[in-house]
Amino acid sequence: MLNLDHLRTYALIIETGSFSGAAERLGLSQPAVSLQIRQLEQRLGLRLVERVARRATPTPAGLDLLEGIQQVNTAVDGVMAAMASHSSNVEGRVTLGTGATACLYLLPQILRSLRIRFPKLSVVVSTGNTADFVKAVEGNTLDLALVTLPVKRRALVATPLLNDEFVAIASKREAPLPAKITPAFLAKRELVLFEPAANTRVIIDQWFRDAGHAPKPVMELGSVEAIKEMVAAGLGCSILPAMAVTGPGQHPELVVHPLYPKLQRTLALVMRGDKPVNKAMRQVITAIEQRTKN
């Protein structure tokens, strides 16, 4: 491989007309400059410098080399400019996996803020279940995942961000619900629940089991919005994360009640413990952390 420093030294020798002039410009000794040129000539197998009237001038091969050095310098300048852009700006692509609920009710404001602040940053979001995203992050096909705990993989680091309480929902068309919505009460009702593969469903099923009951859903759906519409139509009750039915998620045809005993899930940001965090990833992580603390 050619040494870029040697090329720079050669160009300065020709520019100043002497080894001593190049040495002075470079802050090196003249023997050090002479050694660099000998190594360059040995690498190319060509003589590059000759003396004419006590001035260092290029040989024919040296003239061709000077033209090549100009092209190399242009290319190096372009590379350095591109790297400087990455260093000073936030740009690039970050892949993020999350559940439908967080995607609908938590991420929109975060992604909007990131788009305004960093127009060159692309955040690609996929929705699905925790198990699939944990595997994808572990296999490094996904940068980050915002999922429901627990996550137990040695290669991964899970940072808890938000405790989201579950609530019971029913249609306003139905008879008023009791003050305390218990597993015993809901076990006797028709239920519209998340599909079994979802971590959220695992948490809900455990809530019933802890009280000695087993839910018997009439519908199992993967979409939180579909669940809300089914319940609003009077097809059963459901248990959903509070963020899905409060604030932007409020539905005019639903009533919302707390559960007894209380039930909550913890959302966490998951990534590989050995994954380098570039500027783009850092901004995405920071934006999610700040949003979930508010």
Residue range 132-137: mean pLDDT, rounded:
91
Q: pTM score, two decimals?
A: 0.65
Mean predicted lDDT score pLDDT of the chain: 89
pLDDT of residue 87: 55
The percent of residues in the chain predicted with pLDDT above 90, rounded, is 60
Residue range 100-127: mean pLDDT, rounded:
90
pLDDT of residue 294: 57
pLDDT of residue 84: 62
The single-letter code of the amino acid at 181 is I
* Segment (H or E) for 265: strand 264-272
CA distances (Å), 160 to each of 156, 197, 234, 285, in order?
Answer: 13, 21, 35, 12
Q: Is the dihedral of CA 114, 116, 122, 126 positive or negative?
A: positive
Residue range 132-160: mean pLDDT, rounded:
91
Residue range 198-217: mean pLDDT, rounded:
92
pLDDT of residue 86: 59
Is 93 a residue whose pLDDT tops 70?
yes
pLDDT of residue 161: 92
CA distances (Å), 210 to each of 166, 167, 215, 261, in order?
Answer: 16, 17, 12, 10
Residue range 118-122: mean pLDDT, rounded:
90
The single-letter code of the amino acid at 61 is A
Is 88 a residue whose pLDDT tops 70?
no
Distance of CA 107 to the CA centre of its chain: 13
Residues with Cβ within 8 Å of residue 215, at least 6 apart in sequence: 186, 187, 191, 193, 204, 205, 208
